[in-house]
Amino acid sequence: MSGRWPLFDLRLTSPRLELRYADDSDLLELAEVAGEGIHPPDVMPFMTPWSDAPPAERARSVLQWNWRGRAVLRPESWSLPFAVVSDGRVVGIQDVVASDFEFVREVSTGSWLGQRHQGQGIGTEMRAAVLALAFEGLRSRFALSGAFTDNPASIAVSRRCGYEPDGIARLVRRGRPETQLRLRLSRERWAEFATTPVQIHGLTDEVKAMLGAADPS
């Protein structure tokens, strides 16, 4: 597929992890991981509570969501779902999304790990990997993240990477108004905080053009 869809060759490697643009077999593994559970039932880290669905439906929604993202990708609006591989197994997903990247030079990230893979430093390392892609590979100016106030793990990952407070958003979650912390990382702060060595593979001129990130001529 990579001849026609070169994103399938996009890959990031860090000391413990491989992050690869998810193909269908990765998505199937991700679906299984999601089916096994991402968080306890009494918490909800996501704005859209897709993970409240029963296991089979939750697993299928991982396929549908990511197929959709692939289908609507264009330079003005894109998402890159990376399957996160640790010890040869897919353990979660790290997404990078952008709108009008050519002009705005900002990416946002989102992620989840299977519940049994959390709390081992994987979340911090996978965020570091996509930040290297954003700032070093794509010449981003900023990276954004958001987390509900009751998600200490996500907030801790952002703080460790150097993100700074960027206001709040009031959002409805499970039918109730909640506060989401918005976080912003500048290119300068990233350079100051980045310590994880990351290799970027497959970021060709063709891939950059698909993302509105072509090098200036």
Ligand X SMILES: CC(C)(COP(=O)(O)OP(=O)(O)OC[C@H]1O[C@@H](n2cnc3c(N)ncnc32)[C@H](O)[C@@H]1OP(=O)(O)O)[C@@H](O)C(=O)NCCC(=O)NCCS
Q: Which residues here bind ligand X, judged by CB under 6 A?
A: 38-39, 45, 111-113, 118-124, 147, 151-154, 156-157, 160
Q: What is the phi/psi pair of residue 187, to 5°? A: -60, -40
| Closest separation in Å from C-beta 18 to ligand X | 16
When the beta carbons of 53 and 153 are compared against ligand X, the nearer one is: 153
| Closest separation in Å from C-beta 102 to ligand X | 26
| Closest separation in Å from C-beta 43 to ligand X | 8
Query: Per the structure block, which two tokens stand in for 54?
Result: 């029963």
When the beta carbons of 2 and 121 are compared against ligand X, the nearer one is: 121
Query: Per the structure block, which two tokens stand in for 45?
Result: 């880290």
50 CB-near residues (< 8 Å, 6+ apart): 58, 61, 65
When the beta carbons of 27 and 128 are compared against ligand X, the nearer one is: 128
> CB of 147 within 8 A of CB of 159?
no
H runs (alpha helix) in the chain: 24-36, 55-71, 101-104, 122-132, 152-161, 187-193, 205-210
The four Cα atoms 198, 199, 200, 202 give a dihedral, to 10 degrees, of -160
| Closest separation in Å from C-beta 49 to ligand X | 12
Pairwise CA distance, residues 77 & 125, whole Å = 25
| Closest separation in Å from C-beta 46 to ligand X | 6
Closest-by-Cβ residue to ligand X is: 123
When the beta carbons of 2 and 197 are compared against ligand X, the nearer one is: 197
When the beta carbons of 13 and 180 are compared against ligand X, the nearer one is: 180
